[in-house]
Structure 1
Amino acid sequence: MATKGWDRLAPKLAATADRVRSLEWAPDRRNSFVPYTVERDSAYADLDGERLLLMSGYSYLGLAGDERVVAAAQSAAAHYGTGNHGVRALAGSIPLHEELESEVASIAEREAAIVFGSGYAANVGTIGALVGPGDTVLVDKYAHASIVDGCRLSGATVVRFRHNDAEHLDRRLAAATGDGVRLVIVDSVYSMDGDVAPLPRLREICDAHDALLMVDEAHALGVIGATGRGIEEHFEGRVRVDVKLGTLSKAVPSMGGWVAGTRELITHLRYAARPFLFSAALAPAQCGAALESLRILRREPERVAHIQRESARFAALVRAGGIGTGDSETAVVPLIAGSDEAAYDLATTARRLGVIGLPVVTPAVPRDLARLRIAITARHTAADIDFAATAFLKAAEECGITTGERARTADAVR
């Protein structure tokens, strides 16, 4: 072992260990990397023999344990095996990949689609295939880490603009120089805040500056829009984006990422997106589960209506009790706690009261805006929502997070 090399790395490792100890210093304060056993037919999970209501899971449509989805995954594995023979460009493609991509394209209302091994790979690969040195990519300040990493790795000039501030984007684009590609990237629904990108105004600004508009639908598919088709449907089809991208691991309970667009775009990505070209093909069971889930989304839009109704009700209940939720208007409802320590205390107390609400702390969110990130799903009954809201409000009171402090923190988010 290169001892001196490890000596140089030691301060980074020690700093991480110290931070973990400061937040999770006792067994009853465990919140991160906890192996919950989630029940297949409800929103409850088991931890050390205790049954707890899970309020921070991302299976929005409630399909993770659906018998139809499980059967589809089993059937695909039985027919094609547990894995493929390599990358899609060589021996890794199977008919199920094409069937899944066709369904994605149909749901996204685009000519074609491509499926990656993960949503992270989809973002990094797509951005790198669309822009490079000499081009400019403009990114919302709160965009997902995979978007930020894709921009940095692309070699393009990266410009950030204030969160959901279309006028700031307008000024940034006006100041951009060069004749290269201009690409604007936003999340449809922001995973930490639950707010929605101002798509109509973004479209106007992009058109005025000859820029392309790409949106990440990770937390939008199955959640917003009358039938859960995402941000374009949310705005009643008044505006379209140039590149739609998302994941198959949230509302769709599988793995993988997808991109939908014109046939020319998808052909380009097949040959130019490095994570697609140089990563193993999506496994058959994952394809089968994803495909069946998308078909259920088509057949059962009432799941989407339930999510939207109960999300609004939960947010109203906790806000009425004084907990700040920022600008959330979707299934993601942040419960703002303040400091990192306060978020961990709130999560620990809520768990003692029977509810799992997991903390999100710096650097994932700005300092002093740590929160519990709550996600409402189709598995949450009305009774679950009432129980959870009551538990979180009681936990906030016990932790001494006063109404005034929560209100001020909520204002800071805006």
Structure 2
Amino acid sequence: MNASAAWQHLEPKVAAINRRIDELEWEPSRRNNFVSYRPEMDSPYVEVDGERLLMMSGYGYIGLGGDERVAAAAKAAIDQYGTGTPGVRALAGTIPLHEELEAEVARFTGRENALVFSSGYAANVGTVGALAGAGDTVLLDKLDHASIVDGAQLSGATVTRFRHNDPRHLDLRLAATNPSGTRLVVVDSVYSMDGDIAPLPELREVCDKHGALLMVDEAHALGVIGATGRGIEEHFGGEVKADIKVGTLSKAVPSNGGWIVGSADFLQYLKRHARPFLFSAALAPAQAGAALESLRILDREPERVTYAQRESARFRQVMSDAGMNTGASQSAVVPLIVGSDENAWEFATACRKAGVVGLPVITPAVPPGLARLRIAITAKHSRADIDFAIDAFLTAARQCHLIGE
């Protein structure tokens, strides 16, 4: 078989995705994915094709993107350590800044030690793969992030799904699993597309009943929930603990990287068995420096968390009262659910024309009929910015016949 014949098997898939993009983005004003945004460092505004637009679909929950202190820390790290590291962490890649960052992550999250990966995706894939394998069972919430799902599938363990945020269904699933192997339950603390929160106390009770480990991904919880932004355990009063906590340094923290916290012995095991950690280049110095300074600022300025929590609650209430479907959101992540993929695209395009970036999330990222704009309220958004966004969203929703006049 020649190369041309081999490509014939792939060509229908390539053609299908390009046809779908053409159906949604048939003119430049309708382009809503993979757009290049030029951010303003001191505001939540961005520039696109000469237009100044309010960004309402970013991740910077605590408003530190562009913060001069964070930028200075990144520059200082480059000055001291250069732009990269000369190897993986196990060989020549570890620098003192990595160890400083890991100590700060551990302290901030209330754990003994931490390990920093090159990305949050790598942290999830590596951790699940190191904890479970053939003969074990990984139980996943139906809406778990793709990195968790990929880690479970790559691990070689049996993978079982349970209904979203449903401890009773998890109980049934666990009762049907093999008790002789490791049983690992993995949930998101805050779900990235819906903004709702995992019921940690009930999940903990079910896991304890069956002798299962409970792992939580704090990617969208750090800096978002809990009185001081310390995540799901703080949100529930600190009385209930997860066995394993992982997270990222690219959501509330404006950097890159992922992390896991735990005992020294446990992390020694992960260093040698989490393949994405062992075989990936070490986190670049600038990213480590930026992450370290961001965590220290968050520790000193918890009012950033309080503000975003208060304003996201106000935003949800106003949008719900106006007839928009915000799902079960309880956090700074607020979906504006509009039904079909086409509705989401039309809505996003109308929002941009009204001066606001609200980005569409469509199938397969969300189930059919639940396409939405994924909105995030951050500490960088002033009250006036949020009011402007509310007006733009509601105006666009009326134009698209998503709500009444």
Paired residue type of 1:275: P
Give the Å deviation of 1:4: 1.1
Match of 1:64 in 2: 65
Matches within 5 A, 1:3-402: 3-402=4-403
Paired residue type of 2:66: G
Q: Distance in 1 between matches of 2:383 and 2:272?
A: 48
Give the Å deviation of 1:260: 0.5
Paired residue type of 1:215: V
- Residue 51 of structure 1 aligns to a residue in which SS? strand
Query: Equivalent pairs: percent with the same residue?
Result: 68
Q: Distance in 2 between matches of 1:337 and 1:26?
A: 22
Match of 1:409 in 2: none
- Segments of structure 1 that go 5 or more residues without pairing to the other structure are 405-414
Q: Distance in 1 between matches of 2:271 and 2:81?
A: 22
- Residue 294 of structure 1 aligns to a residue in which SS? helix
User: Residues 48-86 of structure 1: CA distance to partner in whole angstroms, max 9, x if unpaired?
Assistant: 111111000101111110000000000001100000011
Paired residue type of 2:166: D
Q: Distance in 2 between matches of 1:387 and 1:300?
A: 26
- Residue 269 of structure 2 aligns to a residue in which SS? helix
Q: Report if the CA contact (8 A) 1:323-1:403 is conserved.
A: no
- Residue 364 of structure 2 aligns to a residue in which SS? coil
Q: Report if the CA contact (8 A) 1:113-1:260 is conserved.
A: yes
- Residue 334 of structure 2 aligns to a residue in which SS? strand
Paired residue type of 2:310: R
Paired residue type of 2:199: P
Paired residue type of 1:133: A
Give the Å deviation of 1:178: 4.0
Give the Å deviation of 1:8: 1.8
Q: Distance in 2 between matches of 1:172 and 1:305?
A: 37
Paired residue type of 2:44: A
Paired residue type of 1:153: L
- Residue 203 of structure 2 aligns to a residue in which SS? helix
Q: Distance in 1 between matches of 2:391 and 2:168?
A: 39
- Residue 228 of structure 2 aligns to a residue in which SS? coil
Give the Å deviation of 1:403: 5.3
Q: Distance in 1 between matches of 2:404 and 2:219?
A: 32
Q: Report if the CA contact (8 A) 1:134-1:178 is conserved.
A: no
Give the Å deviation of 1:296: 0.3
Paired residue type of 1:78: D
- Residue 317 of structure 2 aligns to a residue in which SS? helix
Matched positions, count: 404
- Residue 389 of structure 2 aligns to a residue in which SS? helix
Q: Distance in 2 between matches of 1:272 and 1:387?
A: 49
User: Residues 197-228 of structure 1: CA distance to partner in whole angstroms, max 9, x if unpaired?
Assistant: 00000000000000000000000000100000
Give the Å deviation of 1:390: 1.2
- Residue 184 of structure 1 aligns to a residue in which SS? strand
Q: Distance in 2 between matches of 1:178 and 1:300?
A: 45
- Residue 88 of structure 1 aligns to a residue in which SS? coil
Give the Å deviation of 1:22: 1.0
Give the Å deviation of 1:7: 1.7
Give the Å deviation of 1:402: 3.2
- Residue 54 of structure 2 aligns to a residue in which SS? strand
User: Residues 61-117 of structure 1: CA distance to partner in whole angstroms, max 9, x if unpaired?
Assistant: 111100000000000011000000110000000000000000000111111110000
Q: Report if the CA contact (8 A) 1:111-1:262 is conserved.
A: yes
Q: Distance in 2 between matches of 1:178 and 1:237?
A: 29
- TM-score, normalised via structure 1 length: 0.97
Give the Å deviation of 1:265: 1.5
User: Residues 251-287 of structure 1: CA distance to partner in whole angstroms, max 9, x if unpaired?
Assistant: 0000000000122211111111000000000000000
Paired residue type of 1:139: L
Q: Distance in 1 between matches of 2:151 and 2:198?
A: 20
Paired residue type of 1:223: V
Give the Å deviation of 1:238: 1.5
Q: Distance in 2 between matches of 1:86 and 1:11?
A: 40
User: Residues 98-140 of structure 1: CA distance to partner in whole angstroms, max 9, x if unpaired?
Assistant: 0000000011111111000000000000000000000011000
The more displaced of 175-184 and 327-336 is 175-184
Give the Å deviation of 1:365: 0.3
Q: Distance in 1 between matches of 2:330 and 2:9?
A: 46
Give the Å deviation of 1:23: 1.2
Q: Report if the CA contact (8 A) 1:112-1:260 is conserved.
A: yes
- Residue 77 of structure 2 aligns to a residue in which SS? helix
Paired residue type of 1:228: G
Q: Distance in 2 between matches of 1:321 and 1:151?
A: 41
- TM-score, normalised via structure 2 length: 0.99
Q: Distance in 2 between matches of 1:33 and 1:141?
A: 27
Q: Distance in 1 between matches of 2:193 and 2:56?
A: 14
Paired residue type of 1:388: A
Paired residue type of 1:120: Y
